[in-house]
Chains A and B, each alone.
Chain A
């Protein structure tokens, strides 16, 4: 397992540089006491008015937040706006942070911002649903990967992305948080404000729905 905690992105404010390791971050669950202690120390400095300290927080979490939110709202521009709003809200209310995990708190704010985006879209049905834009970027592949294999992988990911876009936002959020971001059931329940059983139900029903939506394309995933 690659150790790719958010601190790895401290030196990578450039989107292109951050993208290279973004695709492997999902396999990491950076939830430990050391991370909490580090976050708390930075937050304390930020509460004291140190803008650089807050920007350290931004550097630590902006890739993670954007990757999470863009999967929920399925539109890069809306996701960027939601993340920006979430970070503004975080900055304004830093002194209200209570508890152990700053990452969970920040995730909750970002997911609320993402939910607001989805609600806004629902209220404005005239706006067409944005296309899933993950096709625009693919993770770097090794030289040993054949063009056919790369094309197959891209196709598989597009099919899966489209299926993810079809399930409910609650199910999608739960699946992304569990499978991609590595939160456990209880953390997801705490962040989304629902019961443990509801989280499990959303994840299992969402996977069943994905399987039904994928239909014959499931063959691509079975390899």
Chain B
């Protein structure tokens, strides 16, 4: 019994410590924003934007396409039983732009880029490269975290818009082939019912998710200890924690928008 309580206390203490470290890291990164406007940091940032976009493009497109198709298939089936299949457009568009697009993109980027950031920085930590930077008086926050945070904050909304577009495209194909809803009817219904607020909340969510992915990945990377096992553990933790945060933050942002 005592051991169990001790383990719980240890877990809670460690979680609080990691959360505090992550929040301080985020604040320090924001305070370092002026350092972004140097040629070297800009170059780093643009390289990362290019790498991140290219690295997640295909998987996002495939997942978004099939998510839109599944959404249309299921939604269309229910609506068809009520003779309302012409409403597929609005349902798919609103859910892809407001919820599914940001959420799905965040999960894809967490798995592909968030874990990668944790593993990359974690490897640098265990191979003493972070110590080397500190000895050279190069801030790891400025040199490593800032470009990654900015790159992900910019890439996530772009990939979210892309995912939403591809998802809607996939849904329109299913709507046309399976339920006889023409492209014109589908897009008219979608555009007439989609509000600017839906786009805004989708973009706000994607920016928050991008910041979350970069911060958690960097935090876990910088807290890595103990060789290859530690690096693997850091990547795993980054994915699990980001998934949880994306779901929780997603809920509260939706609640805030709807209220």
Judge: A and B partners, yes or no: no
- List residues of chain B with CB under 8 Å of any chain A CB: none
